[in-house]
Amino acid sequence: MARVKLTDVKKIYDKKVIAVQDFNLEIQDKEFVVFVGPSGCGKSTTLRMIAGLEDISEGTVEIGNVVVNDLQPKDRKIAMVFQNYALYPHMTVYDNIAFSLRLQKEAEDVIYDRVTKVAEILGITDYLLRKPRALSGGQRQRVAIGRAMVRESEVFLMDEPLSNLDAKLRNQMRAEIILLRQKLNTTFIYVTHDQTEAMTLGDRIVIMKDGYIMQVGTPTEVFEMPENLFVAEFIGAPKMNIIRTELKKDENGYFVTPFGAQIRADGSKGNALSTRNAPEREILLGVRPEHIVLTEQGSNAIPCVLEVNEMMGSELHLHIVTEDGSRLIVRVPTMDLSDHEREELVAGHQLYVTFTGKVMHFFDPETEQNLLV
């Protein structure tokens, strides 16, 4: 059983720099969990503590119901893939993959069987006699993954393994990691700063900031119900629009008043506000770019001017400025627009936008917590 449990884990450098604090998480057997957050948030440090490459200042790490704080990395039944591949340049691909097995003094026929099997799974059989310098970045990363796979470990740790690849290769390798997970059927802990990787790979996502866990949840949970403003803006591309406005109430329920419009909080959002008997107050209103739509001039339409039009292929990212100078981003599928409408979307063009109450998020301006969580 490859359950991983971290309890009250803290990492302090030089007795004053706190890199990770109050970290509590239980990862189930065969679960794929992704640590994500900006640079310096503590995600790689946490992974290295699990691996045994960093000492734990406080708390405990368990792997398979065994506390491993004092165990060496080789005794933790883990395998790790690093960001920079860490291949031996003077060895062939075969010898790189076989290296850890030879350290364990495995028989050569056993080594051959394991290495060739792993190479076949990763599609690198034809490269076994090459040196790393003769491989592309994607091929080198496959070799690094193969070197970890061959150990048949219970927990697979990956520290930003795709960050050195170009965009096309990253997309390809993401799909290959998903297939690899299905073949290995073991516990994965994956670190990245790329929220797209986190959303596509993880069963659950651990979002971190300044050494703290900000939210743990499935990709759907963190996208649809962010617990705080940091998560709301970090997950989703382009990031969520944040508007300072008023939450008001009348005999028909709750509504907000962004830029002079009046938009009702209907559906589950309105019901949740009513259940909590939320008071009228100033709030930070969150609306994702894909939930803002172009509309005609009217009582609830928000007038704005187009500042920048980014063509992204299947969609446009419209950077707009409202009458009070606020800037918003709107995602518009190109298939929703006629040729004439596309031609009109130039800098300086007058637009009107709106959104519905079903897609709104409400945050406290001081605590930045989601009012409905």
Evaluate whether residue 296 is within a structural domain.
yes
* 372 found inside a domain: no
Q: Is the pLDDT assigned to residue 1 strictly greater than 80?
A: no
In this predicted model, what pLDDT tens digit does every residue of 257-276 receive, in sequence order?
Answer: 999 899 999 889 999 999 99
For residue 163, the model assigns a pLDDT of: 85
Rounded mean pLDDT, 283-304: 93
Average pLDDT of the chain to the nearest whole number: 93
Q: 53 in a domain, yes or no?
A: yes
- Regarding whether 186 and 242 lie in a shared domain, the answer is no
Q: How many CA atoms lie within 13 A of 190 on its CB side?
A: 30
Tell me the C-alpha distance between 310 and 193, whole Å: 24
Q: Which of the residue ranges 37-46, 190-199, 292-301 would you say has the lowest mean pLDDT?
A: 292-301
Instruction: Report how far residue 209's alpha carbon sits from residue 230's, in angstroms, rounded to the nearest whole number.
Output: 8
Distances (CA, A) of 326 to 135, 258, 268, 302, 349: 49, 11, 28, 12, 16
244: confidence class by pLDDT, cuts 50, 70, 90: very high
Chain position carrying tokens 């989703």: 236
Domain range for 66: 4-230
> CATH no. for residue 306?
2.40.50.140
Q: What's the DSSP call for residue 38?
A: S
- The CA distance from 198 to 88, in Å, is 29
Closest CA to 164 of 133, 200, 195, 139: 139
Q: What is the mean pLDDT of residues 236-263?
A: 94
Q: Are residues 125 and 244 located together in one domain of the fold? A: no
pLDDT at 247 over 90: yes
38/127 same-domain check = yes
Contacts of 341 (CB under 8 A, 6+ apart): none
Backbone angles phi, psi at 277, to 5 degrees: 50, 50
Domain co-membership, 47 together with 117: yes
Q: How far is Cα 216 from Cα 54, in angstroms, rounded to an integer?
A: 23
Residue 138 pLDDT class (50, 70, 90 cuts): confident
Query: What is 144-207 written as a DSSP string?
Result: HHHHHHTT--SEEEEESTTTTS-HHHHHHHHHHHHHHHHHH-SEEEEEES-HHHHHHH-SEEEE
Give the pair of three-digit tokens for residue 363.
């945050």
| Same-domain status, 246 and 356 | yes
**161, 195, 230: which is the final residue of a domain?**
230
Residue 370 belongs to a domain: no
Compute the average pLDDT of residues 169-197.
89
Contact 208/216 with Cβ under 8 angstroms? no
Mean pLDDT of 321-345: 92
Confidence at residue 254, expressed as pLDDT on a 0 to 100 scale: 95
CATH of the domain at 141: 3.40.50.300
Three-class SS state of 235:
coil
Query: Is 176 a residue whose pLDDT tops 90?
Result: no
Residues 18, 117: one domain?
A: yes
Do residue 265 and residue 192 come from a single domain? no
Query: Is residue 125 situated within a structural domain?
Result: yes
Q: Is 127 left (phi over 0), alpha (psi -120 to 50) or beta?
A: alpha
One domain for residues 149 and 250: no
Are 220 and 250 members of one domain? no
The three-state secondary structure class of 60 is: strand
- Cβ-Cβ contacts under 8 Å for 179 (sequence gap 6 or more): none
246 located within any domain? yes
Which of residues 230, 248, 280 is at a domain's end? 230
| pLDDT tens per residue across span 65-110 | 999 999 999 889 899 988 887 899 999 999 999 998 998 889 999 9
The CA-CA-CA angle for residues 193, 196, 201, to 5°, reads 95
How far apart are alpha carbons 181 and 200 in whole angstroms? 13
In a domain, 373, yes or no: no
Nearest 5°: the CA angle 85, 91, 92 is: 90
Specify whether the CB–CB gap between 23 and 9 falls below 8 A: yes
Q: Which of 206, 230, 254 corresponds to the end of one domain?
A: 230
Q: How far is it, in rounded angstroms, from Cα 141 to Cα 131?
A: 13
**Is the pLDDT assigned to residue 228 strictly greater than 80?**
yes
Name, in order, each residue with C-beta under 8 angstroms of 28's C-beta and a sequence gap of 6 or more: 3, 187
Q: How confident is the model at residue 13 (pLDDT cuts 50, 70, 90)?
A: very high
* One domain, residues 58 and 199: yes
Burial tier of 159 (Cβ tally within 10 Å: 0-12, 13-18, 19+): buried
Report the number of distinct structural domains present in the chain. 2
What residues are paired with 9 via a beta bridge? 23
Shared-domain flag, residues 60 and 197 = yes
DSSP string covering 13-36: ETTTEEEEEEEEEEE-TT-EEEEE
> Is the confidence at residue 204, as pLDDT, over 80?
yes
Residues 174 and 265 in one domain: no
